[in-house]
Amino acid sequence: MEHAVQVELLQKLMKQLDDGVNVDAGVMLKNKASAYTCPDMAKREWETFFRTHPQIIGLSGDLPEPGNFITVEDFGVPVLATRDKEGTFRAFHNACRHRGAMVTTEKRGKQAKFTCPFHGWTFGSDGALIAVPMEDHFGSIDKSCHGLIELPAVEKYGFLWVHPDPKGEIDAEALLGGLAPEFDSWGFDQMVNKDGATYAMDLNWKLAIDTFGETYHFKRLHKNTLAEGFYGDVQCYDIFERNHRMILCVKSIDDIRGTPTDNWKMSNGGFPVYYLFPNIQLNVGAAGMTMVRVYPDPKDPNRSISQVSFYFRPELLAAEPEKLMQIAHNFGRVIQGEDYAVAETTQRAAQAGLQDYVIYGRNEPALHHYHNTYRSALGLEPLEVFE
């Protein structure tokens, strides 16, 4: 992010604090509570946003060296992602070409070959079928056309994108909607992965996304945790096509007041939180970034799974590993134990069906944008103004 923009955003936060105001969407919107429970809507979302849309599965740091691999199974197509011998990011359907067993069920690791546990067919990290045991018994197989089914894979700005459709297209710039230069400046491509968490919760995937969309709840829900380090009820908010960026206000912003702006940097007083359509939240701090990938449970609109991954600037992680891991896991615990825990209660209310609608306030513009963005992608009308 350009220095001038960092200063401008920090100054905006200071002014909001001084004036006692927050961002203002101008109107309130209302959404049907059934948006969080409707099986038909869930089915369309699954097809449109997960089965047929490019997916971010991690950062370059998840595949640090040739031979590293990760597997994901969050959006209907099991994926084996590798860094091949040449260092290229590749992605494959994690399904053996014999009878479809997963060639590995490990979440991550390092190996040049994948031997299917069922009958032992072996594939390289480039997907090529290398060996078929007992081929004289089995029959002759043309290995050149029985490699793992390859999926479109793009590595750019530190992100790993996979398309679940072998014929799908990934246009990183279009997906980022103008955020590419800014992401470049945060150096996501240099970050290393360490740990993460999986939260399977009784809440619709959109409710999980909603919890990241405002700072109105900081002083209340997070009074004993995040509110110690953040000012709630202020934020900067900007839209980047289908994505958006919030800048949360860190209390240390008070320390730079009156100091020369030449020395200011975002992490002195701001904490960027990005939403990338359709299901990614990025929380960017001085030491690294926490990525949250949110997925519906395709069998139940009332459930979702959040995959949380912690990434760090390597030199900072090396200097203070325990401290940084503790901060990261504490953040994860706040997401699960406070945000998602309360969202599970709102899910139960939506399921009870007595409350027709929920209201998104003027101070919750991220919710306005998010809900209207996915609605537009589903061909639905924008949300009604609440009066």
163 closest CA partner among 176, 174, 150: 150
Which stretch, 180-188, 261-269, 281-289, 334-342, contacts Fe ion (CB under 5 A)? Answer: 334-342
132 closest CA partner among 109, 116, 149, 155: 116
State CA 293 to chain mean position distance.
3
Which stretch, 69-77, 96-104, 224-232, 327-335, contacts ligand FES (CB under 6 A)? Answer: 96-104
**Size of interface with Fe ion, in residues (CB under 5 A):** 1
Determine how β-strand 150-151 pairs with β-strand 129-131.
unpaired
Work out what residue 233 binds among ligand FES, Fe ion, none; the CB cut-off runs from 5 to 8 Å by kind. none
Which stretch, 44-52, 91-99, 144-152, 279-287, contacts ligand FES (CB under 6 A)? Answer: 91-99
CB 122 within 8 A of CB 130: yes
218 closest CA partner among 355, 386, 22: 22
C-alpha to C-alpha distances, 308 to 12, 19, 214, 282, nearest whole angstrom: 30, 36, 19, 10
Which stretch, 10-18, 92-100, 154-162, 321-329, contacts ligand FES (CB under 6 A)? Answer: 92-100
Q: Report the residue number, 109 or 120, with the smaller CB distance to ligand FES.
A: 120
Distance CA 369, CA 338 (A): 24
Distance CA 116, CA 122 (A): 6
Q: Report the residue number, 126 or 238, with the smaller CB distance to ligand FES.
A: 126
278 closest CA partner among 325, 208, 365: 208
Q: Report the residue number, 129 or 317, with the smaller CB distance to ligand FES.
A: 129
Q: Report the residue number, 117 or 382, with the smaller CB distance to ligand FES.
A: 117
Which of 98, 146, 219, 265: binder of ligand FES (CB under 6 A)?
98
Which of 339, 364, 369, 370: binder of Fe ion (CB under 5 A)?
339
| DSSP secondary structure string for all residues of 154-186 | EEETTEEEE-SSTT----HHHHHTT-HHHHHHH
**Size of interface with ligand FES, in residues (CB under 6 A):** 9
Residue 153 has phi, psi (to 5 degrees) of: -140, 130
Q: Closest separation between CB of residue 351 and ligand FES, Å?
A: 40
Q: Report the residue number, 92 or 121, with the smaller CB distance to ligand FES.
A: 121
Which residue is at the shortest CB distance from Fe ion?
339
Distance CA 82, CA 104 (A): 12
Q: Closest separation between CB of residue 112 and ligand FES, Å?
A: 18
Q: Report the residue number, 147 or 298, with the smaller CB distance to ligand FES.
A: 147
Which of 14, 101, 239, 327: binder of ligand FES (CB under 6 A)?
101
Distance CA 323, CA 135 (A): 54
113 closest CA partner among 139, 85, 87, 134: 85
Kindly identify the residues of this chain, within the stretch 113-142, that bind ligand FES according to CB under 6 A.
116, 118-121
Q: Report the residue number, 71 or 290, with the smaller CB distance to Fe ion.
A: 290
The reply on whether position 62 binds Fe ion by CB under 5 A is no
Distance CA 201, CA 320 (A): 32
Binding site for ligand FES (CB under 6 A): 96, 98-99, 101, 116, 118-121
State the residues that interact with Fe ion by CB under 5 A.
339
